[in-house]
Chain A
Amino acid sequence: MSVQPFLIAAAGLFSIGIYGILVRRNVVMVLLSIELILNAVNINFVVFDAMLGDALLQGQIFTIFIITIAAAEVGIGLAIVLMLFRNRKTANIDEFDLMKW
């Protein structure tokens, strides 16, 4: 199989994730879209690993790490969302614009 479809799919996933970040109003939805992006990157890594036939399987190792870190990040992210919700009673990302001029 050619590599290219996989790469294009990963790129598509990536851009869909970007779209999601830019468009979604709920903070949790934004975090969801971030997961999409990370997933796209995972696909890329594994595809390259398959392409290269690496003896050290670096692509897959790295993918494992990414997944781990993503999980940690989601944990922290949702804790922060929790705090935000407690303080502001809303999860609308447009409401959190205190850091403006």
Chain B
Amino acid sequence: MSLVETPLMKSLARYLDVTAYRQGVVAANIANIDTPGYRTNDINFKQELDKALQAPDAPVTPSPQQVPGLLERPDGNNVNLDREGLLLAQTQLHFATGVALLRSELKRISMAIQEDKA
């Protein structure tokens, strides 16, 4: 472990990676809201985060899966605008939380460095 990189920072970086990936999946669902036959995709957030945390140096490679139990329209598309809109806002806030935590962690380290100057 290096002096300025704490385990928490590493975990937060992985958290941000998985959150950003999920946001991309949601964007794809919204983009395909009128594509006949398109099925809603999503990732299992907890599972993918666990996977990312267990292999801290491997690239984040979540596997999106079709979401079951959604109402299908006659054209075979099952994208629900409410679900995606909510998820978009939710994921954005998750990301903001991760960024805020990461910044506070960096500030703490910076404080420790500056301590002798006080």
Q: Do A and B bind each other?
A: no
